Amino acid sequence: MIENRPWLNFLAHAILVVGVLVVAFPLYVTFVASTLTLDEIIHVPMPLLPGGHLWENYSQVLTAGSEGGAAAPVGRMMLNSLIMALAIAFGKIAISIIASFAIVYFRFPLRKLAFWMIFITLMLPVEVRIIPTYKVVSDLGMLNSYVGLTLPLIASATATFLFRQFFLTVPDELAEAARIDGAGPLRFFKDVLLPLSKTSIAALFVIQFIYGWNQYLWPLLITTEESMYTTVIGIKRMITSGDALTEWHLVMATAMLAMLPPVAVVVLMQRWFVRGLVETEK
């Protein structure tokens, strides 16, 4: 604190509290709506205190889904989302950690080319090349499958770069000592590099888990069977046109379920999350 200005401190707290409340308001209303019946929501204005149908609504969406729109149970969708998020997070970490090990610790022809091939993918999000990627995946017969959901998305440069930056900071003496002791590259990777990379892996895991869980356009395109829907797609499919026709209480319960895992990951792993975010972008 540089100088004491009580009214400024008060103002700072006031602005932060307003900010926190405005940011939380949509979440609060969603939660309240997920505990009401449809009639209570449609009867304008809807109550702003939680109702008594929390258990009913959540168990209905988890086991049976909504009555109109998509009828697939959300439990199944959450499993799909979880598989997708975990496969993308672990897949990305696995293929990029070995790729950056090769780029940093070996000299070989085509090394620069490999580096630039990976680097260029940093720039183009899936959204840009939707139709051709869809075509490739459908030609490979991967529609409506977990492989089709995850494999195209694990090609990304961010993780490779994070590991490359980290490996470059690992002291050379470690590799030298390993070599003198007669350890081969794979032994060095497994016993020295991997344990050192633990925090980077944790940080990356948080970011990529959220990335995988929140995918929208890709699953929207390649999943046509209800049993393959992810939670985020499920919400979209439950919304029918017209405010009154949509079963908002069930949509909101599903929205809560869709937000719960990634928000929990961010809040519980906050330290790694912040690290991962700031480091992958720099």
Partner 1 sequence: MEKRVVFRSRWLPYALLAPQIAVTLIFFFLPAGQAVWFSFQLQDAFGLKTQFVGLANYAALFADSNYLASFKVTAVFSVLVAGAGIAIALLLAVMADRVAKGALAYKTLLIWPYAVAPAVAGVLWAFLFAPSIGIVTYVLKKNGVDWNWVMHGDQAMLLVVMASVWKQISYNFLFFLAGLQSIPRSLIEAAAIDGAGPARRFWTIVFPLLSPTTFFLLVVNIVYAFFDTFGVIDATTQGGPGAATHILVYKTYYDGVKAADLGGSSAQSAILMLIVIALTVVQFRFVERKVQY
Query: Binding to partner 1 (CB under 8 A): which residues in 146-205?
Result: 151-152, 154-155, 160, 168, 172, 175-176, 179, 184-186, 188
Cα–Cα dist 36/41, whole Å = 7
Stretch that binds partner 1, among 27-35, 50-58, 70-78, 196-204 (CB under 8 A): 27-35
Q: Does 116 bind partner 1 (CB under 8 A)?
A: no
H or E stretch covering 254: helix 248-268
Upper half-sphere CA count for residue 262 (Cβ side, 13 Å): 22
Closest residue by Cα to residue 163 from 210, 108, 105: 105
* Nearer to partner 1 (CB atom), residue 4 or residue 195: 4
Does the footprint of partner 1 cover residue 243 (CB under 8 A)? yes
Residue 267 engages partner 1 in binding (rule: CB under 8 A): yes
Burial class (CB in 10 A: 0-12, 13-18, 19+), 77: buried
45 binds partner 1 (CB under 8 A): yes
Contact between 214 and partner 1 (CB under 8 A)? yes
Least gap, CB of 54 to partner 1 (angstroms): 17
Assess contact for 259 and 95: CB atoms under 8 A.
Answer: no
Residue 59 identity (one-letter amino acid) = S
The only residue of 93, 193, 201, 210 in contact with partner 1, by rule CB under 8 A: 210
Judged by CB, which is closer to partner 1: 63, or 270?
270
- What is the enclosing helix (H) or strand (E) of 173? helix 172-180
Chain centroid offset of residue 126 CA: 15
Phi (first) and psi of residue 61, to 5 degrees: -65, -35
Pairwise CA distance, residues 213 & 115, whole Å: 28
According to the binding rule CB under 8 A, does residue 79 interact with partner 1?
no
The answer to the question of residue 105 lying near partner 1 (CB under 8 A) is yes
Q: Is 44 in the site for partner 1 (CB under 8 A)?
A: yes
Stretch that binds partner 1, among 49-57, 59-67, 94-102, 195-203 (CB under 8 A): 94-102
Q: Closest separation between CB of residue 264 and partner 1, Å?
A: 8
* CB nearer to partner 1: pick between 86 and 220: 220
